[in-house]
Amino acid sequence: MRSYVHGENVHILVYVEKINTEQLIILHYNVMAEEQKYIPAIHAEHVDVIVESTIEKEINERIEKYFHVQPVYHPLNSEVRGHINGNEQIKSFIATTDWTREQS
């Protein structure tokens, strides 16, 4: 993760900060698997979640709760797309194209 942080466009966030951003990209959605008590207040116009396998109902609910916006889910490949297309809760929020490493 530190390789992404260079201090200009990418920063490490801490609990007491309030962040406004146009886009928030969640690369590892499993950080949302557990209820988070101390997270920065983040207001993002768009939240993109990179999906590596499946999305649990609780993860989707936490993302909506923390960021107050319905995220767009980007599967890594067609196999993952097949897994998450069966999830009725997020089906209409799946991106039309798969995520590529160049987008990270």
**pLDDT tens digits for range 24-73:** 999 888 888 888 888 888 899 999 999 998 888 888 889 988 898 999 99
Tell me, yes or no, whether 37 lies in a domain. yes
Domain range enclosing 76: 16-103
Tell me, yes or no, whether 1 lies in a domain. no
Tell me, yes or no, whether 8 lies in a domain. no
- Give residue 17's pLDDT: 83
Tell me, yes or no, whether 70 lies in a domain. yes
Q: State the average pLDDT over residues 4-9.
A: 63
- Distance separating alpha carbons of residues 7 and 17, to the nearest angstrom: 16
Tell me, yes or no, whether 7 lies in a domain. no
What end-to-end distance do the CA atoms of the chain give, in Å?
Answer: 12
Residue 26 burial (CB < 10 Å; 0-12/13-18/19+)? buried
- Fill in the DSSP letter of residue 89: T
Tell me, yes or no, whether 87 lies in a domain. yes
The helix, strand and coil proportions of the chain, stated in percent and rounded to the nearest 5, come to 30, 25, 45
